[in-house]
Homo-oligomer: A and B are copies of this chain.
């Protein structure tokens, strides 16, 4: 079995309002960072997985994202795998 490290981003979909991001964009102005725009806030998930090969690991992480980590109605996800 090979061990992989997965780095997953789960973000609110573009067409979905992100109130937390909007609030942080506003706060940037108060910090004197008005050059910062379009803040969007999601989740970053790191995990380790053992699988026979990268393809199998990819399928398992995909399943974990779909069934547990992301709400596909409101969120989209992407991830990278790296052998450790």
| Partner-B contacts on A (CB < 8 A) | 7, 9-11, 21, 24-25, 27-28, 31, 33, 35-51, 60-61, 63-64, 67-69
Contacts and interface: CB of A to CB of B under 8 A. Distances in A.
A53 to B, nearest CB: 13
A43 B48 CA distance: 18
A38 B43 contact: no
Count copies of this chain in the complex: 2
B48 A38 contact: yes
A58 B21 CA distance: 20
Contacts of A40: 45-47
A33 B63 contact: yes
A35 B11 contact: no
